[in-house]
A and B are shown apart, each in its own frame.
Chain A
């Protein structure tokens, strides 16, 4: 087994959906022993909602979302409503360095698995509770998935086409940001515990983690008096700055040109009369005439192949990648060269490809040790470790 930077850290997870499981997965990727406590009666929602591969419909061990967020973990099946299982759960958390949970606030308290109760037997424990709005406040028990949190955070109001209705980011954005924020907080608490022997409880509100990534617009409103709105792909500082169509169906390149040196490189790459138009002769002029400029660029890009154009601009040191689809990413030679993707074999599906690690740690890298566990796969092994005979 490969050693990781978190080898020796034991994490007990009571998580479902995306934020909690992804947080545990990152800790597991870097070597922590992460035990996912699951319930047959109340399966992780990603095991239920699919999608599934053909022929494996409704198989909780073959659901794509589950597989993506749970590699490197062990799974034990415990029904917390059963006193015998609950006792095992309590013994597990008594052995934990870290407990991660994303139940609604107050749920684990009913089972005596809240921070205060765990502390009675394990005062060094660090517990991370992830919820939509935090464990206190008038909305603490409001129901929210990441998308609802995104709406409340204000992010939807500044994402979208100019003048159009609010739009969401293409994924449930607050979930992964909460997951990584959770890792950051857990690591801070582990470092503090190494200095002081004290554990602590982390109350993570997905609304707050998302709002923390919007400090720019929050200050903008106060400094300018204008309510920040969606600007499409435009920038207030430079033009051109946008996404432009290329030849073929749904092919696009993104383009950012900052300052005069880059504009000159772009002019050279285009080599057509319109780039010399005095309307575009300075950054401020280009910002003023950005709609016309975008029109010219669209005409120019629209007849070209996206990959060829991106490569041509790249050779001129212009910031202009293809707007990548997942198919583009899978065949991206740069990512392949970096060894980004992680491939492994699952009992359920055979060969499976998963996202790479959060970062490359050069001396103590993360690694793949275990494929995502089948429901309760490691129950016997974990019980044996606890010294339980049954």
Chain B
């Protein structure tokens, strides 16, 4: 087995939902030894949609976000549970703590770390400031972070992105910044708290919304599928019902290439939208005119032909379309993983490919408390009595 980039990095994950679990998964996918601590009844992901017949071992988000980890159970509402978690924390280089600004928990977890360890705290609003203890969530973070306001159609309500993106952003940023802190720990021996706020994790992706407002007072709002500065030919439905996204054509060559592909579209010659910089002003009219042209095309033909002219177009995939992608298949991005209860399912691979430390064959998400004995008795050396107290 090839050495993994993060081999030897011991991570203990105290996370109930998406953000902390995704953070742990990202580290586990690169080879860290990630131990997920769950309450005796299992974490909330085991009950979140989609769950097959209420079975906590067949919950989509739990299966997806916990590959390559081990699971132990502990009841941190009771002293025995806290005692065993503290022993586990002492073995950790990194502790991931997802909480709702509960400073008591942050306090005792922080006080239980070994010197030089990194505590990755993920909370809705960070560990300081007037909103520290405010409750959060994916919709809350999308709204409080400014992304919901600019997502959606101009005459419709603000929207969140699908599938807990705000929580994934927080988990991703926590994983990256945690490794920066691990690097400091390895080189200088400093341990520390890495503080991720879900609100700030969303603000981090707001493009140039900040300078637009700061420099000339522009409050960016919703613009559907359009881009704030450059326009192409919009979102177009093709003859076979598929959607083709031709949102941005920022150069003359791209616009001319699209024109050459659609010689009947005489309206493209209109000098009003010849210049990429003024095209945005006529976006609605262009989209309307383009709709008729595109409604006569078939998706595969249009996509391949335009891409072969180096024009950035994309088919709007749904999930089955993504899983059928020839590009992803050729890179072996999706992997089938067997799970003792959920069976064989296809999962996305690691976030990128490392040439010297490629991903190992993935292991399925653990069943609840699957590694209790292995970790508590064999690794931590708990006696049979202590083990019984902690796990029953």
Contact = CB atoms under 8 A, between A and B. Distances in A.
A interacts with B: yes
Interface of A: 5-6, 18, 26, 30, 45, 49-51, 53-54, 64-65, 67-68, 115, 133-134, 136-140, 142-145, 147-149, 151-161, 165-173, 176-177, 180-185, 187-192, 194-196, 198-205, 207-209, 211-224, 227-233, 235-237, 241-243, 245, 250, 252-256, 258, 314, 317-330, 333-335, 337-338, 340-341, 349, 352-356, 358-364
Contacts of A323: 143, 148-149, 158
B317 to A, nearest CB: 5
Contact of A363 (B64, B164, B184, B314): B184
A337 B161 CA distance: 28
A284 B7 CA distance: 44
Given A145-B248, A167-B224, A326-B206, A154 B321 contact: yes
Given A177-B172, A187-B176, A218-B322, A230 B190 contact: no
Nearest to B8: A195
B163 A158 contact: yes
Interface string B155-193: 011111111110011001111110111111011101111
A165 B235 contact: yes
B241 to A, nearest CB: 11
B355 A171 contact: no
A337 B204 CA distance: 18
A209 B163 contact: no
Interface string B118-162: 000000011111110011110110111111111111001111111
Contacts of A320: 140
A176 B317 contact: no
B350 interface: yes
B151 to A, nearest CB: 4
8 contacts: A180-B173, A184-B175, A185-B30, A220-B49, A237-B47, A322-B143, A360-B193, A361-B194
Interface stretch (B33-41, B326-334, B373-381): B326-334
Contacts of A228: 162-163, 318-319
Given A45-B250, A167-B152, A208-B333, A227 B143 contact: no
Contact of B158 (A68, A243, A358): A243
Given A151-B314, A154-B322, A211-B322, A358 B204 contact: yes
B179 A337 contact: no
Contact of B211 (A26, A138, A161, A352): A352
B387 interface: no
Interface residues of B, number: 151
Given A138-B327, A138-B330, A212 B350 contact: yes
Contacts of B199: 334-335
B203 A355 contact: yes
A157 B316 contact: yes
A202 B205 contact: no
A172 B348 contact: no
A213 B222 CA distance: 23
A213 B146 contact: no
Interface string B203-227: 1111111111111101111111101
Contact of A144 (B126, B191, B312): B312
B164 A49 contact: no
Contact of A68 (B146, B181, B211): B211
B219 A188 contact: no
Name the residue in B9, B212, B351, B352 with the highest tally of chain A Cβ atoms < 10 Å from its Cβ: B352
A201 B319 contact: no
Contacts of B355: 115, 200-203
A254 B148 contact: yes
Contact of B129 (A160, A318, A334): A334
A157 B318 contact: yes
Contacts of B47: 237
Contacts of A321: 134, 140, 143-144
A314 B143 CA distance: 14
Given A325-B219, A360-B195, A67 B211 contact: yes
B334 to A, nearest CB: 8
Nearest to B303: A142
B158 A354 contact: no
B159 A334 contact: no
Nearest to A328: B146
Interface stretch (B55-63, B71-79, B84-92, B264-272): B55-63
Interface in B289-307: 307
Nearest to A143: B312
B384 interface: no
A169 B161 contact: yes
Given A205-B331, A330-B213, A168 B168 contact: no
Contacts of B146: 324-326, 328-329
Q: Which 9 A-B pairs have the closest CB atoms?
A: A158-B162, A170-B150, A215-B64, A254-B143, A187-B179, A359-B177, A236-B49, A219-B60, A148-B314
